[in-house]
A and B are shown apart, each in its own frame.
Chain A
Amino acid sequence: NAGVTQTPKFRILKIGQSMTLQCTQDMNHNYMYWYRQDPGMGLKLIYYSVGAGITDKGEVPNGYNVSRSTTEDFPLRLELAAPSQTSVYFCASTFLRQGVTYEQYFGPGTRLTVT
């Protein structure tokens, strides 16, 4: 199993540009998450998905969009990049059933700089 994979690893965007961060998991997990990590702030939840076709906002969703057309893929879209979106983005997945949560598995991250 590859686990959780993310592409690209690094990206530099100009203000106003758009891009999609890719995330794929091969563990048949039903729940997937996007977090952003800023220095000294820990990780904050952007969006999450409980299964194909179902997504919802997390703590910091503004400026982002997501979709979940398959169990495996959970892309994160930035429509109009802003300097405040400079961050490291982590995708994670887990199998959650009847309120019992299992370990979350994290991807290696995407380091995004917006200038």
Chain B
Amino acid sequence: AQSVTQLDSQVPVFEEAPVELRCNYSSSVSVYLFWYVQYPNQGLQLLLKYLSGSTLVKGINGFEAEFNKSQTSFHLRKPSVHISDTAEYFCAVIPNYGGSQGNLIFGKGTKLSVKP
């Protein structure tokens, strides 16, 4: 079975400061890794994904994440946040094996609050 842990439920940060949202996963098989963003009262939008290759993945809106296999982590970073980045962020995995049904297994989410 797979599980995803987002270590911080809420992260307050000032505008233009850097931010890191932490994500760890547990799985007996290899996984694909994703970060989704949910703005208030909206659906989920894909920020970035790691399928294979370079462990540093760049996404939309200036976000990036680094896959660390030994630490089973996929932390999300942005060097300078904007007020518009205020949202809830979800880390998720899809197990990578022949019988996978492709469903996302989500963490509980991290609410990023950017203050002026």
Q: Which residues from chain A sit less than 8 Å from chain B, CB to CB?
A: 31, 33, 35, 40-45, 48, 50, 56, 58, 90, 92, 94, 96, 99, 101, 103-104, 106-109
**B38 nearest CB neighbor, chain A only:** A37
B74 within 8 A of A: no
Interface class of chain B by DSSP? loop
B72 to chain A minimum Cβ distance, whole angstroms, is 18
Does B96 lie within 8 Å of A99, measured CB to CB?
yes
Chain A residues within 8 Å of B90, by CB: 42-43
Does B103 lie within 8 Å of A33, measured CB to CB?
yes
Q: With A99-B96, A101-B100 known to touch, is A107 a contact of B43 (CB < 8 Å)?
A: yes
8 Å CB interface, B87-109 against A: 90, 94, 96-98, 100-104, 106-109
**B94 nearest CB neighbor, chain A only:** A101
B56 within 8 A of A: no
Chain A residues within 8 Å of B102, by CB: 31, 94, 96, 101, 104
Please name 13 further chain A to chain B contacts, defined as beta carbons within 8 Å, in addition to the given A40-B108, A101-B96, sorted by A numbering: A31-B102, A35-B106, A40-B9, A42-B107, A42-B109, A43-B104, A43-B106, A45-B104, A56-B101, A90-B43, A94-B102, A101-B100, A106-B45
- A53–B115 alpha-carbon span in the complex (Å): 49
Chain B contributes a number of interface residues (CB within 8 A of A) equal to 24
B30 to chain A minimum Cβ distance, whole angstroms, is 11
B7 within 8 A of A: no
Q: Which among B44, B97, B100, B108 has the highest number of chain A CB atoms within 10 Å?
A: B44
B14 within 8 A of A: no
Interface class of chain A by DSSP? strand
Q: With A42-B90, A101-B32, A103-B46 known to touch, is A50 a contact of B101 (CB < 8 Å)?
A: yes
Does A45 lie within 8 Å of B103, measured CB to CB?
yes
Does B108 lie within 8 Å of A42, measured CB to CB?
yes
